[in-house]
Chain A
Amino acid sequence: MKSENEKKLDQFFKDGLTDLENHISFREEDWAKMQKLLGPNRRDKGAVIWFYRIATGIAALLFLLLGWQFLKPVHQSRQKPNLEVRTKSHPVNATPKSQHSNNQYGNLVTKGEKAGTVNTGSPRPVNAAPKSQLSDIHYAGLATKGKKTGAVSNYGLNSPAHKTAPISSNTLIAQKSQFQNNILPTSRQNNANGVANEAEPTANHKNVKLQPGFLAASGVTGLQTDTPAALPALAINKAPDTLKINKPKEKHTSVAVNMPPRFTLAVLTAPDINGVGSLSGGKLGTNAGLLFTVKLGSKWSIASGVAYAVKPYGYAFGSSNSSTYTYKGYTYTSSANASNIDVYANCKVVDIPLNINYALYNKGKNSFTLGTGLSSYFMLHEYYQFNYTNSPSRSINISNQNRHPFGVVNLDVSYSRQLSPGLSLIVQPYYKLPITHIGYEKVNLQSGGVAVGFGWSFSALRIK
């Protein structure tokens, strides 16, 4: 009896409380508390931070590439054995104090603001030239730039003679071998007193003194200066048989290095078709972006950039015919009320590709390039509309929550037609095949299209 009463009491409460949930209304303040428990939406923050990291990395990579190209010593002088002499001003003074000058390529190179003493055998200091103009004399030919005057400026023979009475390098008589014997071997020595010895010539580039014997042997018998009284005029006799100065094979300075363009900056835009699983029945989207290509050789190049794409697509999901189905990697068992869903999606994506290209054909103005690589998708905004058969449709908007670094394989063929030396037309059919599930819906989103645009080629290498 008592047990029956207990059961009645239990059932009384059980029945009364079973539909309790139907009498409880949602309170927004409870969700606000829940959000505090969940904490800040780390997903959003993480996506933004990740995006900035990727962007910074790409920017740094491009910066390094550009910097490497600009800072790379392009001027590879083929006249290393040349004697390069640069003087800006050479007040040929008796003072032994002359500034140290650079010795490039191991040769005698002076940039002395204060020229060394020219000891022509005369005890008098050479004060012939208060100033001398910049002149570059190459060892190989003792050639000077510009007027090709034969002022042997760094050897104390620096004078405006090359200005006032230019001596052609062809006429400058200085026997190379003798010059080498007398000056060059000791040119690297740092002779404190700077006195050149005939027996052991010490032509310190700080303080160069030429012996009369050397000058005589070199055929330098006179040198025109502004102050002839101060310095005996040295006439340089033509002795082409013995002292012919070789012309430099290549001009030294202000060399414009004309290299084939190594960089291409392309602006591309494309209508593309997006579909899940295949492109059949896909929807038309668009994308546009910049592509920066760096040539690694005659055939190979790498390309990266950024593109903004709008990718609409649709697909159907769910099945009431089968008892089980697979969705997002999980296998589910359909219940009786499982409904079919038609999904319409529209995603706005930042696409950062990193491709490697191989030039299949490159003749004349036409070139064909085969490219492949990986793209990173950053889903800026995703819109999904779910149309159910058994219930009202539902839509979802998601922003900055999904990213797929190197999640898409790129395949493309580029045709480039040169329109002008720096400008080319680019037509690029491409296909993007995901290797990971894309977006909130984790779909196999494929894209294909034909990008059209213009490329600007440049080498960025012009130095003086």
Chain B
Amino acid sequence: MTHSVKGAALPRRTVLKQALAGAGLASAAGLGWWQPAEAAGSFDWKKYQGTSIEVSLTKNTRGDLLQKYQKEFEELTGIKVGAEQVPEQQHRQKVAIEFTSGAPSFDVVTASWHVQKRLYGKGKWFEDLRPFLADATLTAPDYDFADFAKGAVDYATQPDGRMDTLPLNLDYWIIYWNKELFQAKGLAFPKNFDELISAAQTLNDPKKGISGWVSRGMKNANVPVWTSFLLGHGVDPIDAAGKLQTDTPEAIAAAEIYKRLNREFAPPGVVGFNWNECQTSFVQGKAAMWLDGIGFALPLEDPTRSRIVGKVGYGVMPAGPKAQHSALFGDGIGIAATSKNKQAAWLYCQWATSKVMQSRNLLGGYGSPGRQSAFTTALTSPDLKAPKEWVEAMSGSIKIARPGLPEIFAVTEFRDTFGVALTNLIGGADPATELKKATEAFKPVLEKTEKA
């Protein structure tokens, strides 16, 4: 079983296997995942031994995870990996500029579906991965693609049917809440938007420096907060026919909620807050609720960073008047179409999205994998670093997940235009007026970029 594993990796892997076995997955999950070639037919991890590939990752905990275990991949395949992590915003720019120049410096690259999907889809920047998946000589027999949740696969697939990235990580928006503050006021976690607002109101205590609520106010970053409330009104920012729904009564109602929460119950200066300022307020115990992506469990439960360790509640986004949805975002990993080492690159993508790596993603509290098996594993695993409640909030969110940003070409301009409108709301502007203005400003951009 362990003959393909060397050195220090052994104990960790053994534990992991026990975890998998404990979950009753021993047979189904295929523990012979790293079996040598003869056992797996014509597939051979070592086939591209000696090749070097360049990997460009977004800087986040998933990037850390891939780099942390990179040695395992190199030992398994004999492929040499040069990997770098670049902060999200820079990474998006770099990727776009490098692809445009026609000779990107990387073979494997991660991409945010919610921002870049249409951009790279249209430019055919990534290789279509379906032929690789279908090729038994290139794909490990136990890769088990069917294990990926359908939602994740759909999100990864382009409108023309090409699947140019594999699901690496999904991000569900949840509400982090401070149990201590809630208990002090005798409150329970809100079940709907109205309860949420009144809870924020009750918990808000500016004299003590406690805010009932915190969420992103910074332009661009703040749009998912608003769309989270918009989805609860049963409306997507752009409907299936491609029409903007951003000045509908539902959109205005969602914006009213955004305005009320951030204007009345949020810390001073929230208009300039991105996730990090929100997190700082929250870990200081100065904010009772925080709506943001699911990836923050680690710092909240880290005693060297957080004053509220063990007091954090992880709540699924409450129901809106018409629906209950958790805003969904996601990252994929794919191969540059210009790469000269596509097969080796494919092995890396496969490894990065394998059962083992995806389980580690969840177990370590790094993020939320697209594979279903990872969840079954995690809840029973002694290795689970993050609180169980966090995993539960995640599985609760998966059932009600819905993309939080429209799948359009000009996502960044969308976020920018509506982000400015939302910022103005915190300053006291009227939601209907601001949204109308933003919608009118964005409409020509949408028409132009979508028809081209």
Q: Are A and B bound to each other?
A: no
Which B residues lie at the A interface, using CB under 8 A? none
